[in-house]
Structure 1
Amino acid sequence: MNYFLLSVKCVLLLSFVCVVSGANILAYFFMPSKSHQFVFQPIWKELALRGHNVTVITTDPLNETIPNLREIDVSESYSAYLTHDLSNLRRETTAPYVMIDFIQDLINDIFKIQMNNEEVKEILRLPKKSFDLIILESHNKMAFGLKHKFDAPAVAISSFGLPVFTHYLHGNPIHPVLYPDFMSEVHECKTLSDKVESTYFTLTVWLLVKYKIGPEADLLARTYFGKDMPYLDELEKDCLLFENTNPLFSDKRPKTPDVMEFSAVLPVRDPLTADLKQILDNAKEGVVYFSLGTNVRFDHVQGDVKKTIMEALGDLPYTVICKWESEKLEGQPKNVHLRKWLPQQAILAHPNVKAFVTQGGLQSAEEAIINAVPLVVIPFLGDQPLNAKILTSKGMAETISPKDLNRRILTESIMKVAQDEKYRNKAKELRDIFLDQPQSGIDKVIWWCEYVIRHKGAKHLRSPAADIPLWEYFMLDVLAVVLIALYLVYKITKVTIKILLELFKRSTASTTSKKKKKN
């Protein structure tokens, strides 16, 4: 009998494992940006290695031989940047509604290019129930239509922070003074000016997404995923959501059970090429690494910024390794080595690196923290200005606003962080905090993806705050009842006092009259 029960348990266990291990998963990571894709690549690779059948739509395929992994290459959508230049889109010079609307126009164009890819069209012709799980990049609202298209549970992942409207949809608090939006550049509301700025940004973005971006995205999504699709906001609310953040960058906002944080999902480090290794090893005075990421292109930057940067780098006593659009430049200093692409993690891990000049993107910041390399941050767009403020406030960085950038300031800032050990010591402290976690980011994401597959969704984690309107969330109905009740009490009390006073006057008058008659 015991053997029989044991056999039954084994069969049930194996059935359970098969359900999870053999799932059909569609992943869609739309953003044409290597730094974004680096966050997602380990996730889809690990899911495939664990036995799931993974189809991924991506701008940057791994091109590795994994039997149950199919990568659909939509790198042609990088062409969207030819008509949408992000290099000069900065919060300090651009109104929030203009900035958000510009980014959404870019996302719309990227989405159209990708949906018209022949292999993507082939996927969209598949019947419902073709996939057991959909994994989406959260910043593309149209992508949530895939949940309806295939009638499957979904997990959404952000490669950096979450905007205010996403928090609102999931029922997270959106108090602009306590939790400024990650693109507002306000880190902590310490002054009245900060509070006004954060409130203005939060309300502007919320209204723009609610009444313009949301409806336009919904209309566009219906052309690809069906006219019978529920409104995109309803589909988005019904997804488990992951935000790529860490204890050093977290806004400490309390989150509903269906919104989780993860961090340190970084790809395996590419090795140094022989020439780079020789440059790094032979740099006796040390190395400064310069890279402003993938979205800021120097051939788009206006003014004399390129010349200013090269002159400042040439003034340094260090060897400089610099990511640039070309590997040769007129007037290039002898100590500067230009490359179109560089193995960033491998460079930052080299002991001769003294400082890293960066735009302040989350992935670059995390890689610098992991390798305890101090920073000079030149933030341009998105979450970069806020990241710069956080890194500077933590003591491992100096920040230069692009509008203040000049030869002297850049040279002095680099020398300062490279020579003063307090920056590297603070970076080491932050590294120890960052890496001290009970579970790796990738293990956390994979576990919850398989959790959603096992339970065919995670509706039981959805907060009731996601399903009530704002007037109800802020208890305006209750407030109205209380105010009406107080008003009625006031009116009744007023009338009662008036009646009592009138009766008292009459009683007094009657008593006075009787006294006069007696006299």
Structure 2
Amino acid sequence: MKLLILLFSTFSAVNCARILGFFSFPSISHQFVFRSIMKEMSLHGHDVTFITPNPLNDPSLVNLTEIDVSNAYELFRKYDFSNFGRSSLSIFAITDMMNSFSEEVIAVEMGQKSVQELLQKPSDTFDLIMIEPHFSFFFGLKKKFDAPIIAVSSMNVYSYYHHLTGNPTHPVLYPDVFSEKLGRQSSLIEKLDSTFVTLMWILLSELLMFPRSDQLADKYFGEGGPTIKEIIKDTSLWMLNVNPIFSDGKPNVPNVIEYFNIHMKRNESYPKDLQQILDNAKEGVVYFSLGTNVRFDHVQGDVKKTIIEALGDLPYTVICKWESEKLEGQPKNVHLRKWLPQQAILAHPHVKVFVTQGGLQSSEEAIINGVPLVVIPFLGDQPLNAQILTSKGMAETILPKHLHRKILTETIMKVANEEKSFAVLFSRYRNKAKELRDIFLDQPQSGIDKVIWWCEYVIRHKGAKHLRSPAADLPLYEYFMLDVLAVVLIALYLVFKVSKTIIRILMVFLRTTLLTTSKKKKKN
């Protein structure tokens, strides 16, 4: 028996890996995804170090060491991300804002004593590094710790990352997430705009973002070693939160894995007063929340007043996430809360419509519960998500610049009241939501099981270099076959010049022959 116990302990030690997860972005909607992964890795017996602005603080997770960098939220509140999109800002302004924000976050988080102590550990401390890729600086952890690196994103990533990995990045077929376009581009204007966005990300990455990340990586992780771009191209695995409803159909190379539906098990429950409000709302409930990244104190103009007035016009009970729980002129049917258990609310049978900003996590939660949407997209991937949800038939979209009291009221009523229409149109939005839910949930394994399996696969195969696509090593001129095109054009040009010269010589020879013949005839 003692021998068996010793043997099993040995197996456990072999299977246990030391994992560093550094997920820096101060947004709970992002962190829900990463927390689920880190928790599950710990439950699988791995020794996990988790650097996050939203620690789990779960004493039952004995294999989990958390480093709290929640002070980064102070920086997030300084920036107005309510207009962070191409409808309001240029690509250059978006890049400038993200660079400024990321550098401040890096300075705060990397300056913490616990993080600095971590960086003093030996280079072989970890068997795997997991990071969020939106700030390219964090790829530099590979310079400090000699371990395979996995990039885990709570959404898709921009087009140049796909190119560096070897994924196809055709701007007509697969527009960049920041182009705010969906699917194949048909008009010439759309094609030009999508190409412009793709090329801008290449130029801005090469000339601005990567060089600055290299400077910061040298500062915090030591000089020398591979560049940030080289590390990105050599990343063992890319894990992107892309569900089948939002997928653009892009074929992925072997080391790009799409996952989804891993943040849903939060075991949320209602406070007693909220339970009563939901249960007593026999006429139906409209749930209103613009997520965690859009704050009403950042929204400009009379938008706040417009929204409250529109919600007050509805014949339904409204539960609304707001910055305060009381508001001057608050309608009787509107209940304000600073924080709400969103998954639990969406699962309640009385909820008729979810008014949302269109964030990926909120959209997935609505799909899973079959709740139709009214989307008011503000920033990032939200405009694109809104287009997808509307094109799929489970949502209506209102752009912030078109947001008026009457439009908001009528749109909510349109989505909520569809069930009272005639038989052919009966419950169209909700039926579409249920159809998408069936597609979403019909998968061979759970999202979290897929993520954990692939992470452990990389550990087992020491970086899984065999998954890496040779396309990752192709420079742009080879990827677009410009060298081949140049040779073909030069060959055609040479053929043309040689042919032209030969024809000219033949013409001269023919002219000379004709003249000689003519002279002979005249002489005779």
Stretch of structure 1 that moved more, 374-383 or 249-258: 249-258
Q: Which residue of 2 aligns with 1:3?
A: none
Q: Displacement, 1:505? A: 2.0
Q: Secondary structure at the match of 1:410?
A: helix
Checking the alignment, whether the CA contact within 8 Å between 2:83 and 2:89 is kept in structure 1 is: no
CA displacement, residues 116-171 of structure 1 (integer Å, 9 cap, x when unaligned): 11111111111101000001111121111111211110111110111011112112
Q: Displacement, 1:198? A: 1.4
Q: Which residue of 2 aligns with 1:289?
A: 287
Q: Name which of 117, 120, 125 aligns with 2:112.
A: 117
For normalisation by structure 1, the TM-score amounts to: 0.95
CA displacement, residues 245-293 of structure 1 (integer Å, 9 cap, x when unaligned): 1111111112211111111111423122222111111111011101000
Confirm or deny that 1:436 pairs with 2:431. no
Q: Which residue of 1 aligns with 2:508?
A: 502
1:304-319 → structure 2 map (5 Å cutoff):
304-319=302-317
Unaligned runs of 5+ in 1: 1-6
Confirm or deny that 1:48 pairs with 2:54. no
Checking the alignment, whether the CA contact within 8 Å between 2:307 and 2:408 is kept in structure 1 is: yes
Confirm or deny that 1:370 pairs with 2:368. yes
Q: Which residue of 2 aligns with 1:516?
A: 522
Checking the alignment, whether the CA contact within 8 Å between 2:264 and 2:343 is kept in structure 1 is: no
Q: Which residue of 2 aligns with 1:266?
A: 263
**Aligned positions, number:** 508
Determine the C-alpha separation between the residues in 2 that align with 1:16 and 1:246. Answer: 35
Q: Which residue of 2 aligns with 1:32?
A: 26
Confirm or deny that 1:214 pairs with 2:210. yes
Q: Name which of 135, 140, 163 aligns with 1:140.
A: 135
Q: Secondary structure at the match of 2:297?
A: coil
Q: Which residue of 1 aligns with 2:424?
A: none
Q: Which residue of 1 aligns with 2:148?
A: 153
Q: Displacement, 1:318? A: 0.7
Q: Which residue of 2 aligns with 1:489?
A: 495
Determine the C-alpha separation between the residues in 2 that align with 1:100 and 1:361. Answer: 20
Q: Displacement, 1:15? A: 6.4
Confirm or deny that 1:254 pairs with 2:251. yes
Checking the alignment, whether the CA contact within 8 Å between 1:374 and 1:397 is kept in structure 2 is: yes
CA displacement, residues 471-505 of structure 1 (integer Å, 9 cap, x when unaligned): 12112111111111111111111111111222222
Checking the alignment, whether the CA contact within 8 Å between 1:180 and 1:187 is kept in structure 2 is: yes
Q: Which residue of 2 aligns with 1:460?
A: 466
1:334-483 → structure 2 map (5 Å cutoff):
334-420=332-418, 421-483=427-489
Determine the C-alpha separation between the residues in 2 that align with 1:101 and 1:245. Answer: 26
Determine the C-alpha separation between the residues in 1 that align with 2:356 and 2:55. Answer: 25
Q: Name which of 151, 169, 175 aligns with 1:174.
A: 169
Q: Secondary structure at the match of 1:183?
A: helix
The alpha-carbon distance between structure 1 residues 371 and 267, as it changes in their structure 2 partners (threshold 3 A), is closer
Checking the alignment, whether the CA contact within 8 Å between 1:172 and 1:254 is kept in structure 2 is: yes
Confirm or deny that 1:194 pairs with 2:190. yes
Q: Name which of 205, 218, 231 aligns with 1:235.
A: 231
Determine the C-alpha separation between the residues in 2 that align with 1:93 and 1:439. Answer: 40
Checking the alignment, whether the CA contact within 8 Å between 1:25 and 1:55 is kept in structure 2 is: yes
Q: Which residue of 1 aligns with 2:423?
A: none
Q: Which residue of 2 aligns with 1:95?
A: 90
Q: Name which of 31, 34, 53 aligns with 1:59.
A: 53
CA displacement, residues 310-358 of structure 1 (integer Å, 9 cap, x when unaligned): 1111111111111111111111111111111111111000000000000
Q: Displacement, 1:231? A: 0.9
Q: Which residue of 1 aligns with 2:325?
A: 327
AA aligned to 2:439 is: I
Determine the C-alpha separation between the residues in 1 that align with 2:11 and 2:152. Answer: 26
Stretch of structure 1 that moved more, 445-454 or 473-482: 473-482
Unaligned runs of 5+ in 2: 419-426
Q: Secondary structure at the match of 2:512?
A: helix
Q: Secondary structure at the match of 1:87?
A: coil
Q: Secondary structure at the match of 1:187?
A: coil
Checking the alignment, whether the CA contact within 8 Å between 1:135 and 1:155 is kept in structure 2 is: yes
Q: Displacement, 1:194? A: 1.8
Q: Displacement, 1:111? A: 1.5
Stretch of structure 1 that moved more, 224-233 or 43-52: 224-233
Determine the C-alpha separation between the residues in 1 that align with 2:393 and 2:202. Answer: 33
AA aligned to 1:484 is: I
Stretch of structure 1 that moved more, 281-290 or 503-512: 503-512
Checking the alignment, whether the CA contact within 8 Å between 1:41 and 1:267 is kept in structure 2 is: no
Determine the C-alpha separation between the residues in 2 that align with 1:515 and 1:191. Answer: 67
Stretch of structure 1 that moved more, 23-32 or 210-219: 210-219
Checking the alignment, whether the CA contact within 8 Å between 2:264 and 2:365 is kept in structure 1 is: no
Q: Displacement, 1:14? A: 8.6
Q: Secondary structure at the match of 1:342?
A: coil
Determine the C-alpha separation between the residues in 1 that align with 2:523 and 2:447. Answer: 98
Q: Secondary structure at the match of 1:203?
A: helix
Checking the alignment, whether the CA contact within 8 Å between 2:353 and 2:412 is kept in structure 1 is: yes
AA aligned to 2:126 is: F
AA aligned to 1:335 is: N
Checking the alignment, whether the CA contact within 8 Å between 1:320 and 1:336 is kept in structure 2 is: yes
For normalisation by structure 2, the TM-score amounts to: 0.94
Determine the C-alpha separation between the residues in 1 that align with 2:520 and 2:77. Answer: 101
Q: Displacement, 1:419? A: 1.1
Q: Secondary structure at the match of 2:483?
A: helix
